Structure 1
Amino acid sequence: MSTQERKKEAVYLIIEPYHDYGLELMRAAFEDFGLRCIILVEDFYDALHKKDYCAPIPTEWLAEQYHCPKDRALWVAQHIQKRFDIVAIIPWSEQSLELAMIFLKVLPIDWVKPETLARFRNKYDLKSYLRLHHPHIPMNASWFVQHAEDVEKLRASLPPKFVIKPIDGVGNQQVGFFSRDQPEVSVVNYFLASGLGRYVLEEFIEGTEYAVNGQTNEKGDVIVYSVLRYYHRHANGRPNVYTRSMHVPRSDPDFRVLTAYSESVVKALGLHRCPFHAEIRLDPEKGPCLVEIAARPVGNQLVILMRDAHGFAFDPLRIAVHYYLSEKPLDNCSLDWPRYDRTQALNVDGITDQSGLITAISGIEGIDHHASFRRWVSKPKVGRLIKATQDLPSQPYSFHLASQEADVDLLQDADRLESQLIIKTHGVDNSLRVKALILNITRRIVFKFKWLNFRLSMR
């Protein structure tokens, strides 16, 4: 049999999987389907930084890896199609969706339509689509803006309170909160700080914020995994910094309202065989309204917190892989709702007003040995540079608590544990700057060698 006549190996594509989620997705694909992957790397430097903090990827899981910036994607698609049978693509993170869309347009992959996926990277288009095609779903008003002049032109029609954020933003970054009565200079300052780009201006939604997490199956039916209640507080000039995410039991009257609303949104957007993470505010008078929705698993290791609630027979990443790679129904997701209802599960996000190098930490042991402690998502370490918390990437630490004891109050426990966690920092003075410069030069030399080796491993 000639080389041309040989059957091509079936593989799937995955974009920069250098994360615990990426590793688990690849593991499930290899163990459950026997499939190897082709890794696509869009940004070498960014990928290498992530790779340094990630466990090694077993070579048997990997078919090939390609350097694939967007302007090279069509060439890569044509090249790999000649050599492999591409059966799926796994865009597991927010940033991987845009590259995935290019491949979905040119490869015969039967999954979510690229125009559907595109809406999840454009906050303005997504809500405009819902308002136009599904007007029965409650939705707040929004406008596309690029600079302060655009906002000023809308002055007469602005809602009493509004937010401005990047149209493709992630991690709660660069979100500005305003009122109609504020002077124009506050909006000007926001754009000066945020830079040129495309933004969405949205009517502010009152009420408590929640997240509904789940999966759509081969028919597009919505499977809800969990509901989280978000807690925010004002910190460092930002009114909405995340501090807690608490599982909501089905006995809570808001649970059914939130899941019904999220189901209507997900179905309206046409998602199938895809995980989702929907953030919703529940206005006491107007009811639920979408804040944002993502076509990916919930982040910040909250997938693992869902497993604390349902039990570790439940594996949402393995379920996601099944639907990324297969159109076959999955009869059992191992959701244990009675266990979920009796389990308290809490994500604790740290906030600091300090900026500088961490020089000393006390109180770690108290958290590590607490009966409800489950894991560190991000553990503070001496020598790490931190800055005043304004968004998710600038949180100094994060950890999970979980308990099935009825008399335990995890919110109180979290407050007590945080009050005992003392982080001391040292401002970056001239001597530290010199040391940091020397260290940075050394790291850059090492990094350059790593980069070269990484680059040579790519096609």
Structure 2
Amino acid sequence: MAEADRQLLFVGGAGNATLAVDVVTTALEQARRRGLRIHVTNQEATLTATPTITAQADAVSAVDFSAPGESAAWARERAAAGERYDIVFGVREMAQEAVAEVAEALGAPGNTPRAVRRVRTKDEARAHLAAAGFPQPRFTVCADEEAARTFLAETTGPWVVKPRDAMGSEGVTRIDGPGELSAALGFLPGEGSFIVEEFVEGPEYSAEGVFLDGKPHVLALTSKELLPPPNFFEVEYVIPAILPEGTAREIERQVTAALAALELRYGQFHVELWWTERGVVLGEVHVRNAGGWIHRMLAHVIPGLEWFGLVYDDVLGNPVDKAALKPVRGSAIRFLTPPPGRLAAVEGWEEAVSHPAVIHAELAVAPGAVIEPHRSVENRVGHIAVGADTPEEAQALARKLEAQVRFVTEPVQG
């Protein structure tokens, strides 16, 4: 088959949000540069809501990735009708099981559905890693409040209460005693079982990378600053993480070993972790790119990097210079956290974001909007991402620019 006839099946398209559209636009542009034809699938309403994505595709189809088996059945029908897809890929967290099922149905490279399902179900991933010898906090899956209280009585706090399969810190709360449990359960999204686990003490990081020849390759480590407990809202990323070289090497060693133990082999990865007194403690594992504009930050710290393009190159057999996939510059982002209340004014924004080192900036609120308490990434109202020669310089600059922005809020009446 001629190179121009090679086709990418992009499962799940983009979510209807600025960041999601930017990620997928970048991924599709990198596919175009490799001569790939593009077929995008997504839920019908989201296809309509993301016209810039559908405009980049050669074909689009309304397929519900959230319905078990529907994407794989659709793909089999297309294959039976003579369609051929060389690469199956997707970036949305909630579409990763569909991506794996479609790849398996078509005989295309991909992760097994079982492996993806395991890492998307947080307690199953924890149990699998613990069985493989990786340190993990004690945890339990609870059907109700009574089960959670039993676990609290048998363990030493503090603890974390969280849903089994959500993302973006949605519904995640730290509690220091049984008296805080009911409120934490009320913060969970939806109903059903949930997880209670021991809180891990230590700074949090993540590893961003890609699978090449079936093996994980860490591109960079990201350090994080979070709002104080009880919440886990991330307010800063710095890439590469400012760490001693030996610590960084140990984190990378543990991450790559864990990905192999979890039987993952394809696409991108974003692995969350803590550095503790006992070394690396792994958190959640994702078989997709990181959020929070990290895809743009990585492109600054590794000049010429095409993160999504590496996935396509791996399938197509294009040469990849692994030695060049290392950070040589620094980047940082600050997520703005104005005080809750009705927004009366924003001062200093234009001056801050006019700085030539700004990679990307967005303000998603305007005077009159109500600022809610910051509980998850869904509450992010703006950000400033910068690039510099070193991560230390980037961090200092991002914090300086954030300090130039002042949000004036008033109490919400009624």
Check whether TM > 0.5: yes
Contact 2:123 2:141 in 1 (8 A): yes
Which SS does the other structure have where 1:424 is aligned?
strand
Q: Map of 1:193-232 to 2, 5 A cutoff? A: 193-194=187-188, 195-218=190-213, 220-232=214-226
Matched letter for residue 214 of structure 1: G
Cα contact 2:310–2:320 (8 A) shared by 1? no
Q: Out of 222, 237, 255, which is 1:262 matched to?
A: 255
Task: Give yes or no for the alignment of 1:81 onto 2:83.
Answer: no
Tell me what 1:98 maps to.
97
Q: Secondary structure at the match of 1:314?
A: coil
Alpha-carbon distance change, 172 to 199 in structure 1, aligned in 2, over 3 angstroms: same
Identity of aligned residues (%): 15
Kept in 1, the 8 Å contact 2:226–2:236? The answer is yes
1:169 equivalent to 2:170? Answer: no
Residues 101 and 118 in structure 1, CA contact (< 8 A), matched pair in contact too: no
Distance 1:31 1:411, change over 3 A: closer
The alpha carbon displacement at 1:14 in A equals: 2.1
Does the aligned pair in 1 maintain the 2:204–2:272 contact within 8 Å?
yes
- Cα distance between partner residues in 2 of 1:191 and 1:334: 47
Q: In structure 2, do the counterparts of structure 1 residues 296 and 418 end up closer, same or farther at CA, with 3 Å as the change threshold?
A: same
- SS of the equivalent of 2:386 reads strand
Provide, for residues 375-427 of structure 1, a one-character-per-residue CA deviation record: whole Å limited to 9, x for no partner: 21555444655422221110111121221279x74444333332321223466
Deviations 1:436-459 (A, max 9, x none): xxxxxxxxxxxxxxxxxxxxxxxx
Asked if residue 245 in structure 1 is aligned to residue 237 in structure 2, the reply is yes
For these two proteins, the number of residue pairs brought into alignment is 400
What CA distance in whole angstroms lies between the structure 1 residues aligned with 2:119 and 2:264?
A: 10
Aligned mates of 1:269, 1:17 — CA distance in 2? 27
Shift of residue 116, structure 1, vs aligned partner:
0.8
- For residues 112-131 of structure 1, the aligned pairs below 5 Å read 112-131=111-130
After superposition, the Cα gap between the structure-2 partners of 1:369 and 1:22, relative to the gap in structure 1 and judged at 3 Å, is: closer
Post-superposition offset of 1:120: 2.1
User: Does 2:386 match 1:389?
Assistant: no
Q: Distance in 1 between matches of 2:296 and 2:194?
A: 33
Pairing of 1:53-452 with structure 2 (within 5 A): 55-58=52-55, 61-68=57-64, 70=67, 72-73=70-71, 75-83=73-81, 84-132=83-131, 134-135=132-133, 137-179=134-176, 182-183=177-178, 185-194=179-188, 195-218=190-213, 220-234=214-228, 238-247=230-239, 248=241, 252-283=245-276, 285-311=277-303, 313-323=304-314, 325-326=315-316, 328=317, 330-333=319-322, 335=324, 337=326, 340-341=327-328, 343-356=329-342, 358-378=343-363, 380-382=365-367, 386-404=371-389, 409-425=393-409
Aligned 8 A contact 1:131 1:139 in 2? yes
Separation of aligned partners in 2, 1:63 and 1:46? 15
CA contact (8 A) 1:24 1:318 kept: no
Contact kept? 2:13, 2:42, Cα under 8 Å = yes
Contact 1:66-1:76 within 8 A present in 2 as well: no
Q: Distance in 2 between matches of 1:332 and 1:77?
A: 33
Give the direction of change, closer, same or farther, for the CA distance of 1:405–1:330 in structure 2 (3 Å limit): closer
**What do residues 141-166 of structure 1 show as CA deviations (whole Å, max 9, x unaligned)?**
22111321111232443232221111
Q: Secondary structure at the match of 1:86?
A: coil
Identify the residue that residue 452 of structure 1 maps to in structure 2: none
User: How far has the Cα of 1:365 moved from its partner?
Assistant: 2.5
> Partners of 2:60 and 2:279 in 1: how far apart?
49
Structure number, greater radius of gyration: 1
Compared CA separation, residues 355 and 238, structure 1 to 2 (3 A): farther
CA distance in 2, matches of 1:141, 1:303: 33
Q: Which runs of 5+ in 2 are unaligned?
A: 16-20
Kept in 1, the 8 Å contact 2:333–2:398? The answer is: no
| Aligned-partner Cα distance in 2 for 1:372–1:156 | 51
Structure-2 separation of matches of 1:155 and 1:92: 36
Contact 2:370 2:412 in 1 (8 A): no
**Contact (CA 8 Å) 2:11, 2:98: kept in 1 or not?**
no
Q: Secondary structure at the match of 1:85?
A: coil
Q: Gapped runs of 5+ residues in structure 1? A: 1-7, 431-459
**1:119 Cα offset (Å):** 1.3
2:23 match: secondary structure: helix
Q: Give secondary structure in 1 for the equivalent of 2:340.
A: coil
Give the 3 Å change call, closer, same or farther, for CA 275–138 of structure 1 in structure 2. Answer: same
SS at match of 2:33: helix
Contact 1:389 1:396 in 2 (8 A): no
Shift of 1:129: 1.3
| 1:58 counterpart SS class | helix
Instruction: Give 1:105 shift.
Output: 4.9
Give the SS at the match of 1:298: coil
C-alpha distance in 1, partners of 2:106/2:61?
A: 17
The alpha carbon displacement at 1:121 in A equals 1.2
What is the CA distance between 1:288 and its match in structure 2?
Answer: 0.7
Checking the alignment, whether the CA contact within 8 Å between 1:41 and 1:65 is kept in structure 2 is yes
| AA partner of residue 32 (structure 2) | F
For the aligned residue pairs, the C-alpha RMSD in angstroms reads 2.8
Partner Cα distance (2:390, 2:67) in 1: 50
- Name the SS of the counterpart of 2:86 in structure 1: strand
Q: CA deviation digits over 1:336-389, x for unaligned, max 9?
A: 64xx35x33111111122244x44221112312335322215554446554222
Deviations 1:240-297 (A, max 9, x none): 32111112257544211211111111111122132111111001x2111011111011
TM-score between both structures, scaled by the size of structure 2:
0.86
Aligned to 2:18: none
